[in-house]
Structure 1
Amino acid sequence: MTFSIARAAMLGLSLVLFAPAGFAQESAVPFDMSGERPAGDRTPEAGGNEPVVTTMPEKKAPPADAAVRRYIIPAASLLLGGEVDSQSFPIYLTKAQASVATAIHLGYSNAVVVAPESSNLTVVVNDVSVGSVPIQSPEGTKDIRFDLPAGLLRPGVNRVTIAVAQRHRTDCTIRSTYDLWTAVDPARTYLAVPRETDGRLLTADDIAAIGVGPEGRTRFTMVVPEMGQPAAASALMRLGQGLALMAKMPNQTFDVVETLPKTAGPGDLTVLVGTADDLSPLLPDLPATARSSAISTFVDTPSADRKVFVVSGPDWPSIEAAVEGIVSPVDRPPGVNREALSVRQRNASEMPLVTGEALLTFASLGVRTSEFGGRRFRAGFDIGIPSDFYAGAYGEATLLLDAAYSAEVLPGSHVDVYVNGSIASTVPITSRNGGIFRHLPIRVTMRHLRPGPNRIDLEAVLMTRADTVCAPGATALAEPRFALFDSSEFRLPRFARIAQLPNLAALSGTGFPYNGQADPAALYLDRLDGDTLSAAATFLGKLAVSSGRAIRVRPETSALAISGRDAILVGTISQLPPLVLGQAHIAAESASAWGAPASGGSQQGATQEAFAEWQSRVRGGSWRGQISALESWLQATFDISFSSLSLLPGAETPVAPDEKARFLVAQGDNPEETATWTVLTAPSGAALKAGMDDLAQDVRWQQLDGYASLAGEDAGALDTRAAARTRFVTTQPWSFANLRLIAANWLSSNILAYAAIFCVLSILLGIATSGLLRRFGRSS
């Protein structure tokens, strides 16, 4: 027996020592956990198409390589959630970049509950799938490289789509689908372009290829040695809008400085503006023609590590002519209507601008036919709404749904429609034997629509008996339960069109009221320094992209000289005249109190808390408390507030920014109520620039609303103040049909006025009927 054991041991040892290397490697891992094994541990077969995968537990950028990175995601973060989700991004490439880009890199991590054996991440470029991998990176960020086929990329706009299909490891409930997520790191997601042939920007047309940085931002650094000259402000504001229209990226900011920065990273463009005498010390290679005529071209920097864009000439009038030559090709002439909002502002698909009655198919909106075997399906599209949209109180759109669901879907399932994140309609599924919807009408309230881009999502929540049992492997079943067809349609009725002011939502959505005016708007800057010029250039750049055209402005040295024109006023709050603060509904005491050292701030806060506590005590048992409770009940039950029960609108409450606010945008009328003034202000110049840079991010910009919006130091939502009193502005020719729709929406918003008019008309009808009966009726 001892001899047999010894011989067996020697045999096992010899197998280990003399076995092939591949046999030893496979023996180290006794079995594969159905995809749980990290992809970085698998060696692709020779000649295969598998992507190269590396795992990096720590979330830091990979080491520098010999390629220039063209970042793809125009946002600071990207989270793909639910069982199915995707995002598309446009990336503009020059001819040289498109011809030499070889690979696309992507870094991602995911929730630990995502099952890798039934979940995958797919990258699609220009409608061609370049690769798909299992989602299996719960412990750190994983970097993947997909090689691109030759000729796939093209000069101009390219569409990159990142899509995920995710399933839960063990849970089959609807609630569990909200725990599924995959986070894509924008700093690790990029196109690799060889450094020696990176196709650097060479002409003005190449400015569209500036792209974004690792945090999803685009920055223009405008070097102006003589920024204090009044003549420079007009040229800078016009040039900034032209550059913004060329790039059309969602998170664009401008920095106005006096000296040339030493370096510029991805998504940065350095622009030098000034006369030839001013720029010669900064650029030894400045073309000699700049001393005799206007130029706009790329020039090498003294270090020769990059090129900068130069706009120069012998004097400022010639520089303004050069700026006009840059802006004119990308500007939209006055009176020319546009049919779509910017396709590069949010995603890579068209966003139609709906100006009236319209019928749009899902196929035209970028929603494709899909089959789904999970529990919660979601798909959506974007549409644009004009600035004079006036149908939020009564209007309803209709979604004509073409879909199907299998027999295993139980009653209690439902289809929901969301408008800008708010639920607008719900349709229950009641059949037990499956069914097909053919143009099923789903009425969608339009109260959540706003001027500019709007997001409409359709979500199907599907419950089955198999999910109730949740047997092992049930989460990975791929049998389709639900299908959405691209023949579905979204129908918008004819809606009232009349603009309202103040309205910061229309300002951020379409640039109203500055987007359609023929005369230049007044631009008041409290000082011509870097912070103020940067904030103004960033704001006007955002307006240009929102309105689809460059806004003409005329700088003014005095706020009191604006008179009856539309105006934009930028400056610290202490430097703005009291008249401007009053017209913009900003409390006068804020000029000295906002940003001042809070010597008695804690005592003031304690006093306010004590006052609020006593107010709640007193109201709790008094008639005021009962009225407050009644108002809350009416709001929750019938969506009726006391403000809608008043015949005359109340006055706007003056805005008094607290110590948490650092930036304020307010809008109001001029003293004659014939023009609109928009005020951008902050306690200091540094806060003014930082606040505008933060507001320029697309997520924050789309939150502007009401007559005032305040931004705090944190990244929370803007504090918006709804306008109580608005001024109507005619934007369309007078017609009975439009007047009828305007009256319908106004009466729906003013219930008490509607009731009073109804009572008066009823009384008049009664009097008229009584008179007719007395005159023509029988006496008996």
Structure 2
Amino acid sequence: MLPPVRAALCGLVFSLSASVAFAQDTSVPFDMSGERDPAVEKTPAVEETTPAVRETRQPEKKAATPDLSTRRYIVPAKSLLLEGEVASQSFPLFLTPQQAGSATTINLGYSNAVVVAPESSRLTVVVNDVVVGEVPVQSAEGIKDVRFDLPAGLLRPGVNRVTFNAAHRHRTDCTIRSTYDLWTSLDPARTYLTVPRDTSGRLLTTDDIAAIGLGPTGQTKFVMVVPEMGQPVATNALMRLSQGLALMAKMPNQTFDLTDALPPTAGAGELTVLVGTAGNLAALLPGLPATARSSAVATFVDAPDGDRKVFVVSGPDWPSIEGAVEGMVSPIDRPLSVTREALSVRQRNGADMPLILGETSPTFASLGVRTGEFSGRRYRTGFDIGIPSDFYADAYGEATLLLDAAYSPEVLPGSHIDIYVNGNIATTVPITSRNGGVFRHLPIRVTMRHFRPGPNRIDIETALLTEADKICAPGSSASEEPRFALFDSSEFRMPRFARVAQLPSLAALSGTGFPYNRQVDPVALYLDRLDADTLSTSATFLGKMAVSSGRALQVRPESSALAIGERNAILVGTISQLPPLVLGQTHIAAESASAWGGPADGGAQHGATQDAIDEWQSRVRGGSWRGQISALEAWLQETFDIPLSSLRLLPGEEPLVAPGDTARFLVAQGDSPDEGATWTVLSAPTGADLKAGMVAVAQDERWQQLDGYVSLDSKDADALDTRPVSRTRFVATQPWTFSNMRLVAANWLSSNILAYAVVFCILSILLGIATSGLLRRFGREV
């Protein structure tokens, strides 16, 4: 009955509630720990928050185009994910003296999972072993940009090491399963070193080619401008130069793009290279050195726009250009007489990878693993090793990890240590005792079936169970009390293993460049046509081969594929232009020359026919002997991990491969007609597919997937389709010794169980006959 009084009371209540609401700090995320770390409130970083939601609410404005030429990108990938409770990634950054002296800040853009507790999670940036900044992980709503100032004199000319460390804790969960939901994602396009424009792109000498850097997505591209690319006399110089540039840069995702016109600009991670005679380059480059008309030159000059440098290789004629290229490549080329001790993978973690050639026991410290203590639930660390191309111990060999570690008394039985090799679990060691313990050279055996020629990754993961995690009291996930420690005195012991090469093997090709990396004579190179697509594909492939081999290969262009004969060869071209002999030797179906990349109706009809065949096979499988064999094969594989191929006395022929409609590019390897050499084929339906497919395969992640005798790249698949080898040709790479042949025989018999059983039965019969004859000789009846 008192409206004015009621209205006044309602207004008072509304004012109090509004005051309480606006008094809350909306910038602080939801906190389950009960007590906030005061260190979070103060950070040396300058933060510029750009959440995705906020950006969409702002009115549309024309954004200013950033000056990408001032950015030296750090992450050589399209994305970088730091997963788990602790994670670390290191990358090298090559700088010229001018860049090292002028760079002042490092920027990174990151986002994280919503379940990450910001009050107990940290993201740390380390440059050359010096911590330059640390921030709480609190960007679940979008990407946050953070900028750190670099101390004066921290950067140095040459290789610098940048490390990103992430420590995560879950908001509400304390289980091991919950640790897989923790992640921080770094955006490579927003993670870079800022360099003043006047020094960022100024390359002065050939040593500065290593400072070409990366693009926003981790790419490195050499744009080679060659007005005379169609002339056969230019091919050898171009292929040799591409290998030399690849060895100088050693970037993981580098590609080559050949063109006959000078591009108007060059983006980050791109270098323009002009190659040709002085008469042909004068029209494109007014600043061409005058000495190029009389002698060979290889130097940096100003581009016509004046804002960048371009690299020029020129001379009065092509023989002089070849001399200039050889003068560049020879100082960095590795002679065959020099044995490699490491695989050069500086682009991955800032350090070379040791190449293990036999029995050895390197410590974790020498492999880059440092002593570390851990207070969480799942700890993961690892190291990289290199395996030679003639590694042959995948069926019987075992390596051993001698682990020096300790765990606290709160760790419960049921915890375990898992060892992974190239992403595949190799062994598990349970922790069965209570009250803590210290391991001193605990032997953990690792089967070598997952090792492959080239780079190999070994990860050690520890899953820890405790009573406190079962209770999961508020704030317990942020405890800093160590539960587990791994010491760098641990060792990785590799036994002596058999060494004999196997062909075909695309894994050995991508890992170490075998068999082309060991030959003295030039490799035969056949290109179906001398156009931009084919030359770009060949230059990119040979560049990747040079980095894998650790040396620049000598090539000899051939005008006819049939003239190659019994020589190691690389053949590049569209599928319709390759001779049937080449397709047959590399196990590519002959009908692919006309069917691959044809009309969609034909592919659909082929798919329908295959579906009908599969349906009929399923109908009659139960009563046919082939169906019973298939069931037996599946049972042996699932129960004993024994493939049916190991139960054959003689290996079968490789099935012919007919690429499907989704495939756009293939790499195939086979023997020459007399099985005296190796042919490798790169092919696609069209020239555009050939170039695009090679660019995709040149990415380091896919390059390491090459395996078997044929690998297919598809437009819509994240992984290569590889076909395993069933019939191999052995190639001796080491001097003949009884010990090596014994190991070769042991691995071969382990791979061919039926042959082993037959040999065992024959030897048993011979032993019985010999014993019977010996007893009769002594006058005893058997």
Normalising TM by the smaller chain, what interval?
over 0.9
Aligned to 1:463: 465
Q: How far off its partner does 1:30 sit?
A: 8.6
Letter in 1 for 2:146: I
**Cα distance in structure 2, aligned partners of 1:191 and 1:345:** 16
Q: Do the aligned partners of residues 316 and 766 (structure 1) sit closer, same or farther apart at CA in structure 2, a change above 3 Å counting?
A: same
**Cα distance in structure 1, aligned partners of 2:393 and 2:324:** 44
Letter in 1 for 2:121: S
**Cα distance in structure 2, aligned partners of 1:467 and 1:550:** 55
**Cα distance in structure 2, aligned partners of 1:756 and 1:568:** 40
TM-score (norm 1): 0.94
Letter in 2 for 1:707: Y
Q: How far off its partner does 1:601 sit?
A: 3.1
Q: How far off its partner does 1:265 sit?
A: 0.6
Helix, strand or coil for the counterpart of 1:486? coil
Q: How far off its partner does 1:238 sit?
A: 0.1
Aligned to 1:248: 250
Q: Do the aligned partners of residues 30 and 318 (structure 1) sit closer, same or farther apart at CA in structure 2, a change above 3 Å counting?
A: closer
**Which residue of 696, 703, 706 corresponds with 1:704?**
706
Aligned to 2:775: 773
Deviations along 1:686-740, whole A, 9 cap, x unmatched? 0000000000000000000000000000242111011111110000000011000
Aligned to 2:693: 691
Letter in 2 for 1:593: A
Q: Do the aligned partners of residues 720 and 31 (structure 1) sit closer, same or farther apart at CA in structure 2, a change above 3 Å counting?
A: closer
Aligned to 1:612: 614
Unaligned runs of 5+ in 1: 17-22
Letter in 2 for 1:284: P
**Cα distance in structure 1, aligned partners of 2:104 and 2:27:** 36
Aligned to 1:50: 44
**Which residue of 707, 732, 735 corresponds with 1:733?**
735
**Cα distance in structure 1, aligned partners of 2:27 and 2:194:** 36
Whether contact under 8 Å (1:74, 1:217) holds in the other structure is yes
Q: How far off its partner does 1:608 sit?
A: 1.7
**Cα distance in structure 1, aligned partners of 2:746 and 2:497:** 10
Give the stretch that moved more between structures: 177-186 or 621-630.
621-630
Q: Is the counterpart of residue 306 in structure 1 residue 302 in structure 2? A: no
Unaligned runs of 5+ in 2: 56-62
Whether contact under 8 Å (1:237, 1:540) holds in the other structure is yes
Give the stretch that moved more between structures: 516-525 or 626-635.
626-635
Deviations along 1:120-155, whole A, 9 cap, x unmatched? 101111111111110000110000011111111100
Q: How far off its partner does 1:199 sit?
A: 6.0
**Which residue of 282, 286, 289 corresponds with 1:287?**
289
Helix, strand or coil for the counterpart of 2:107? strand
Letter in 2 for 1:684: T
Q: Do the aligned partners of residues 28 and 386 (structure 1) sit closer, same or farther apart at CA in structure 2, a change above 3 Å counting?
A: same
Q: How far off its partner does 1:523 sit?
A: 0.1
Give the stretch that moved more between structures: 349-358 or 269-278.
349-358
**Cα distance in structure 1, aligned partners of 2:558 and 2:158:** 39
Helix, strand or coil for the counterpart of 1:447? helix
Q: Do the aligned partners of residues 44 and 641 (structure 1) sit closer, same or farther apart at CA in structure 2, a change above 3 Å counting?
A: closer
Q: Do the aligned partners of residues 30 and 721 (structure 1) sit closer, same or farther apart at CA in structure 2, a change above 3 Å counting?
A: closer
**Cα distance in structure 2, aligned partners of 1:648 and 1:488:** 43
Superposition pairs of residues 573-612 of structure 1, within 5 angstroms: 573-612=575-614
Q: How far off its partner does 1:606 sit?
A: 2.2
Helix, strand or coil for the counterpart of 1:234? helix
Letter in 1 for 2:382: G
Q: How far off its partner does 1:27 sit?
A: 5.0
Aligned to 2:553: 551
Aligned to 1:20: none
Whether contact under 8 Å (2:201, 2:309) holds in the other structure is no
Q: How far off its partner does 1:36 sit?
A: 10
Q: How far off its partner does 1:44 sit?
A: 11
Deviations along 1:626-666, whole A, 9 cap, x unmatched? 32222111111111122111111000101100101000100
Whether contact under 8 Å (2:43, 2:135) holds in the other structure is no
Helix, strand or coil for the counterpart of 2:49? strand
Aligned to 1:484: 486
Q: Do the aligned partners of residues 136 and 35 (structure 1) sit closer, same or farther apart at CA in structure 2, a change above 3 Å counting?
A: farther
Superposition pairs of residues 163-312 of structure 1, within 5 angstroms: 163-198=165-200, 200-312=202-314
**Cα distance in structure 2, aligned partners of 1:728 and 1:519:** 20
Whether contact under 8 Å (1:173, 1:467) holds in the other structure is yes
**Which residue of 619, 629, 632 corresponds with 2:631?**
629
Q: How far off its partner does 1:671 sit?
A: 0.4
**Cα distance in structure 2, aligned partners of 1:722 and 1:30:** 57
Coordinate RMSD, CA, aligned: 2.4
Q: How far off its partner does 1:283 sit?
A: 0.5
TM-score (norm 2): 0.94
Give the stretch that moved more between structures: 678-687 or 706-715.
706-715
**Cα distance in structure 2, aligned partners of 1:44 and 1:352:** 40
Letter in 2 for 1:71: Y
Whether contact under 8 Å (1:340, 1:353) holds in the other structure is yes
Aligned to 1:502: 504
Q: How far off its partner does 1:196 sit?
A: 2.8
Aligned to 1:645: 647
Letter in 1 for 2:44: E
Letter in 2 for 1:57: P
Q: How far off its partner does 1:428 sit?
A: 0.3
Deviations along 1:404-444, whole A, 9 cap, x unmatched? 11111111110000000000011000011111111000000
Letter in 2 for 1:52: V
Helix, strand or coil for the counterpart of 1:208? helix
**Which residue of 3, 25, 44 corresponds with 1:29?**
25
Whether contact under 8 Å (1:66, 1:195) holds in the other structure is no
Helix, strand or coil for the counterpart of 2:600? coil
Superposition pairs of residues 287-366 of structure 1, within 5 angstroms: 287-366=289-368
Helix, strand or coil for the counterpart of 1:523? strand
**Cα distance in structure 1, aligned partners of 2:279 and 2:333:** 30
Q: Do the aligned partners of residues 197 and 227 (structure 1) sit closer, same or farther apart at CA in structure 2, a change above 3 Å counting?
A: closer
Letter in 1 for 2:523: A
**Cα distance in structure 1, aligned partners of 2:435 and 2:297:** 72
**Which residue of 711, 716, 720 corresponds with 1:714?**
716
Aligned to 2:60: none
**Cα distance in structure 2, aligned partners of 1:31 and 1:593:** 61
**Cα distance in structure 2, aligned partners of 1:36 and 1:640:** 51
Aligned to 2:59: none
Aligned to 1:19: none
Deviations along 1:226-255, whole A, 9 cap, x unmatched? 100001110000000000000000000000
Deviations along 1:11-49, whole A, 9 cap, x unmatched? xx9xx9xxxxxx999956399558799xxxx9999xx86
**Cα distance in structure 1, aligned partners of 2:92 and 2:662:** 36
**Cα distance in structure 1, aligned partners of 2:686 and 2:249:** 30
Q: Do the aligned partners of residues 455 and 43 (structure 1) sit closer, same or farther apart at CA in structure 2, a change above 3 Å counting?
A: closer
Helix, strand or coil for the counterpart of 1:574? helix
Q: How far off its partner does 1:766 sit?
A: 0.6
**Cα distance in structure 2, aligned partners of 1:385 and 1:36:** 48
Q: Do the aligned partners of residues 779 and 720 (structure 1) sit closer, same or farther apart at CA in structure 2, a change above 3 Å counting?
A: closer
Letter in 1 for 2:557: P
**Cα distance in structure 2, aligned partners of 1:31 and 1:633:** 58
Helix, strand or coil for the counterpart of 1:741? helix
Identity between Structure 1 and Structure 2 (%): 74
**Which residue of 393, 400, 406 corresponds with 2:395?**
393
**Cα distance in structure 2, aligned partners of 1:315 and 1:605:** 54
Deviations along 1:485-520, whole A, 9 cap, x unmatched? 101100000000000000000000000000010000
Whether contact under 8 Å (1:506, 1:512) holds in the other structure is yes
Letter in 2 for 1:638: F
Q: Do the aligned partners of residues 133 and 25 (structure 1) sit closer, same or farther apart at CA in structure 2, a change above 3 Å counting?
A: farther
Aligned to 1:522: 524
**Cα distance in structure 1, aligned partners of 2:637 and 2:133:** 51
**Which residue of 359, 374, 380 corresponds with 1:372?**
374
Q: How far off its partner does 1:65 sit?
A: 5.5
**Cα distance in structure 1, aligned partners of 2:124 and 2:771:** 73
Whether contact under 8 Å (1:241, 1:541) holds in the other structure is yes
Q: Do the aligned partners of residues 26 and 415 (structure 1) sit closer, same or farther apart at CA in structure 2, a change above 3 Å counting?
A: same
Aligned to 1:441: 443
Aligned to 1:69: 71
Q: Do the aligned partners of residues 30 and 212 (structure 1) sit closer, same or farther apart at CA in structure 2, a change above 3 Å counting?
A: closer
Q: How far off its partner does 1:778 sit?
A: 4.3
